Each structure stands twice: as structure tokens, then as C-alpha cells.
Amino acid sequence: MNGAHDLGGMHGFGPIEREAREPVFHQEWERRCFAITLAMGAYGAWNLDMTRFARETMPPGEYLTTSYYEHWLHGLQRQLIEHGFVTLEEIEERVDALRREMGHAQT
Amino acid sequence: MPKLEADRVLHVLLKGSSARPGVPAVPRFAPGDRVRTLNIHPYGHTRLPRYARGKLGVVYWDHGVFVFPDTHAHREGAKPQHCYSVRFTAEELWGPDGSPNSMVYINLWDDHLEPA
Amino acid sequence: MAEHDHGSHLTEVELRVRALESLLVEKDLVDPKALDILIDTYEHKIGPRNGAQVVARAWTDPEYRQRLLDDATAAIAEFGFTGRQGEHMVVVENSPMVHNVVVCTLCSCYPWTVLGLPPVWYKSAPYRSRVVIDPRGVLEEFGLALPEEVEIRVWDSTAELRYLVLPRRPADTDGWSESDLARLVTRDSMIGVGLALTPDELTRQEAAS
């Protein structure tokens, strides 16, 4: 699809920012998102091409303004729901419950 | 398939997942052939980037038979076919102001190409 | 207002990841210990030191270098560096007249088996958008100014083939052991946005750290 992921030749993104001695993961949630994605892929319910497409479906404005593992999270949630591993309702219910339990979340 | 258990993780990672379907296919092109990429804009998944559509290139390398992602992503079949490295000059892709003495090599499949 | 503030306010993203993990564990779909091993493997066990060993051997052993160019997957497998995101390896060799650089404009494809997980810059819009259209400018931004006579080859990883650049062996390294040579091989040089370190650069770098 002609999505925002198809970046070759686009202008305007500015300098390539590098972090000295960059860690493999910057946040705990990135670690978990990474690992869950790989673990759920092991079921063979979907293939890697489907996974890439799931990430590509992010609306362009969101894709360009979110981080790499947020793209993974979008794709993961979409695939989990599409393949019947969880429902959207279950996820939102759990998010609400955790939000109440852990204090107010920042958006 | 059962859930991925801790004691299987390393085995699964080291084994990986081949994208070769293990069936032969007749290549449509050979290294040295001039090709033009198709001007397609599918709503689904494709590995033909927008910047390289409708462009003239030369087949540089035949990497053999692979699964075709454009269909595989939508359960439309593995459609085994040859995957090539196709070489494009900067001028062909970006016009006269393209980076001097620069080439872009893109992995493309038979279904992305037509003879030029 | 939550009275039991644990000292951290979770973002929406953190909440969502926790929600997914807790649901999947409850449904017995993921094994938390498996998740920990997946994380540990890529955080601590697999990284560019793998690729550096491959490069150092290619520099010292001409027959290995040829095997690497002919069938990179098999040659790299001689080290045991196999599997995920390295199933179909290709090595592209730098020479006096050709410099190679690798990108995945469409996502983040990268040879995990020899380089580990990619750095943020490789997966981000500035690099992915610019290196195919202005490779010389991008390389200069990385501190590498190549004369125009050197042909630049940008490899866009649009298939499952994963590319490893074989950088040129620096001068004044005759007689060096493979393990010493490997210390000159940076991740950037195996992506193609830099060259291998010179002996002087290595000395300076190790003195600084």
C-alpha cells in the first residue's frame, strides 16, 4: 500500500540522530512488546509478510509521529484481534483496570 | 501449535524461518537483462517501493526462488518465483540532480518486472 | 485520584503492553520465561561482535572470503550464527572503487544474526528516506566523505535477503590476529555508513572508554 512506511525519497525529516552507546531497548515496554510479538508469531497463525502489512496499516500521521515499537504494538494488537487470540473489548477492559490500579496515565 | 516454551526459544531462533518455498520456478529474467518495474499501486502489501515504480533497471543478481510477499501477506498464496537484485542508476530514480556515481539495488520479484 | 502512587505514571503505551501481556499470560498463550529469554538473547547475546568475527576471518583467510561471497549464509553458519533474520545472507564487499551501504526503506530489515537488533537511526525516517536519494550526503553526515570516483551502491532490503557489508581491511594491520582485527570492525562499517577503524582510531577509542 502507498502508506507512510514507504519512505524512500521523502524529504523533510531532518538530520539522522544518533545516540552514543545506544541501548538495545530504551524502555521496559519495548522489551515486552518485542518479546510478545516474537512469541505470538511462533504459533504460525500469521506469517511475517502479514505482520509487516499489519504495521503498515497505521494511519500515516500516526506512523510518522510514533516510535518504532509503537508500530510493532499497533500491528501486534491488530493481529491478535484479527486471529481471535484476544478481543478489543478484553484489551480495553484490561487497560482501564490497569490504569485504575497503577495511577493516572499520561497521554 | 503449542505455546513457545522457554526451553525451545533458542532452538526456534537459531532455526529461523526460511522464505524459500523449496520448489523450482522458471526465472523470467537473467543478470544483464534490462527491465522496467510495473506501475502498480496495490492497496495491499507490496515490496515494490513507490520510488522505484515504472523505472528502468538492469537485473544484477538472481537470488533464486522465494515466496512472493505481495500475495503471501494476504493469504493469496506463496506464488514462488525468482527474486532479483535490480540495479537502478540515481539518475533514473531521481532525475538529473541525483547523487553522482550512485546506484540503488532493490530486491524485486518476477511479478514486479516487465522486459524493457 | 489514586492514593497508592507507585512513583510512576504509566503512559498509554506502557498500559497497553502490560494489558496485552497480562491477558496473554492468563490465557496461557505466552510463557513469561520464554519472553525473558527472547529479551536476554537480543539484549546481551547476539550483536555486532558476531559480524566482526566474520569480517576478521574474511580478511585473514582468502578461502573463507570466497566462501563468504559465494554463499554467505553457509559461510556465516560456520560460526553458528544462524536463524532468525539471517536465513538468507548476502555479503557485499567494499573495494577501492565501490562502497556499499544497506537500508530498509520500507521497514527495518537488518541481519540480526550478525549484527543483533538495529539501532534506532537505521529504523527511523531520516535515514530510510534519505540514503536512497542522497547517499553521499548521508555518508558525509556519518563523517565519511567519499570521492566521486568511488561508486556508491545502496542496497534496499526489500526481500528476506539480509545484507552485510564487508569493509576494507585497514592499512598497517599486517600480522594482526583475527581477534585483534575484529576489534577494528564497527557495526557502522558493516552497515556501510562508516569504515573499519584504523589502528590509531582503535587506540584512541579504547583509551577514551
User: pLDDT of C2-51, one tens digit each?
Assistant: 444 444 578 999 999 999 999 999 999 999 999 999 999 999 999 999 99
**Which ranges in chain B belong to alpha helices (H)?**
9-15, 69-72, 90-94
Query: Longest C-alpha distance within chain B, in Å?
Result: 56
> So where are chain C's domains?
12-44, 47-208
Give the model's pLDDT for residue B2: 83
Q: Which three cell numbers stand for residue C204?
A: 584512541
* Closest alpha carbon to C132 in B84, A18, B69, B106: B106
What residues have CB less than 8 Å from A70, skipping those under 6 apart? C13
Q: Does B73 touch chain C (CB under 8 A)?
A: no
The CATH homologous superfamily to which domain C47-208 belongs is Nitrile hydratase alpha /Thiocyanate hydrolase gamma (3.90.330.10)
Q: What is the mean pLDDT of residues B1-14?
A: 93
User: C194: distance to nearest CA of chain B, Å?
Assistant: 17
> Across the interface, do B45 and A43 touch by the CB < 8 Å criterion?
no
Who among B5, B12, B17 is closest to C87 (CB)? Answer: B17
Segments forming the whole domain that contains residue B43: 35-115
Who among C18, C106, C141 is closest to A15 (CB)? Answer: C141
Using the predicted structure, report yes or no on whether residue C63 has a pLDDT greater than 80.
Answer: yes
Calpha distance C155→C192 (Å, rounded): 10
> Across the interface, do C10 and A102 touch by the CB < 8 Å criterion?
yes
Domain count, chain A: 1
User: B58: distance to nearest CA of chain A, Å?
Assistant: 19
Give the model's pLDDT for residue A4: 98
pLDDT, one tens digit per residue, over C137-196 is 999 999 999 999 999 999 999 999 999 999 999 999 999 999 999 999 999 999 999 999
pLDDT, one tens digit per residue, over B33-75 is 999 999 999 999 999 999 999 999 999 999 999 999 999 999 9
Q: Which three cell numbers stand for residue B110?
A: 518476477
Calpha distance C191→C135 (Å, rounded): 13
> Across the interface, do B49 and C106 touch by the CB < 8 Å criterion?
yes
Q: What is the mean pLDDT of residues B95-108?
A: 97
Domain count, chain B: 1
> Residue for cell digits 518486472?
B113
CB C68 within 8 A of CB B42: no
C65, containing H or E segment: helix C62-70
Mutation for A interface: C8, C17, C162, C187, most A CBs within 10 A: C17
Segments forming the whole domain that contains residue A69: 28-102
CB A86 within 8 A of CB C20: yes
Q: Which three-class secondary structure string do you get for A20-78?
A: CCCCCCCCHHHHHHHHHHHHHHCCCCCCHHHHHHHHHCCCHHHHHHCCHHHHHHHHHHH
Give the model's pLDDT for residue A102: 82
| Chain C residues within an 8 Å CB radius of A63 | none
Between helices A68-82 and A28-41, what is the axis angle to 10°? 40
Q: How many CB pairs under 8 A join B and C?
A: 118
In a domain, B95, yes or no: yes
CATH number of the domain that B78 lies in?
2.30.30.50
> Across the interface, do B41 and A2 touch by the CB < 8 Å criterion?
yes
> Looking at C95-160, which runs of residues are DSSP E strands?
98-103, 151-156
| Chain A residues within an 8 Å CB radius of B40 | none
DSSP state of C209: -
Give the model's pLDDT for residue C1: 43
In a domain, A41, yes or no: yes
Measured between CA atoms, the residue of chain C closest to residue A54 is C107
The catalytic residue among C22, C95, C107, C177 is: C107
Q: Does B75 touch chain C (CB under 8 A)?
A: no
> Across the interface, do C151 and B101 touch by the CB < 8 Å criterion?
yes
CATH number of the domain that A51 lies in?
1.10.472.20
Q: What is the mean pLDDT of residues B14-36?
A: 97
Question: Alpha carbon of C69 to those of A60, C73, C74, C190: distances in Å?
Answer: 39, 10, 10, 14
C108 is catalytic: yes
Q: What is the mean pLDDT of residues A77-103?
A: 95
Q: Please name every residue paired with C59 in a beta bridge, in sequence order, or none if there are none.
A: none
Neighbours of chain B (3+ CB pairs under 8 A): A, C
C53, containing H or E segment: helix C48-60
In a domain, B12, yes or no: no
Q: What is the mean pLDDT of residues B21-42?
A: 98
User: A65: distance to nearest CA of chain C, Å?
Assistant: 10
**Whole-number average pLDDT of chain A:** 95
Q: What is the mean pLDDT of residues B99-114?
A: 98
Measured between CA atoms, the residue of chain B closest to residue C92 is B105
In a domain, B10, yes or no: no
pLDDT, one tens digit per residue, over C107-135 is 999 999 999 999 999 999 999 999 999 99
> Residue for cell digits 522458471?
B26
Q: Which three cell numbers stand for residue C159?
A: 526481500
* Closest alpha carbon to B83 in B21, B27, B39: B27
- pLDDT band at residue A103 under the 50/70/90 scheme: low
In a domain, B48, yes or no: yes
pTM for the complete prediction?
0.96
Using the predicted structure, report yes or no on whether residue A107 has a pLDDT greater than 90.
Answer: no
Instruction: Please give the ipTM for the structure prediction.
Output: 0.98
Measured between CA atoms, the residue of chain B closest to residue A41 is B4
C104 is catalytic: yes
DSSP state of B112: G
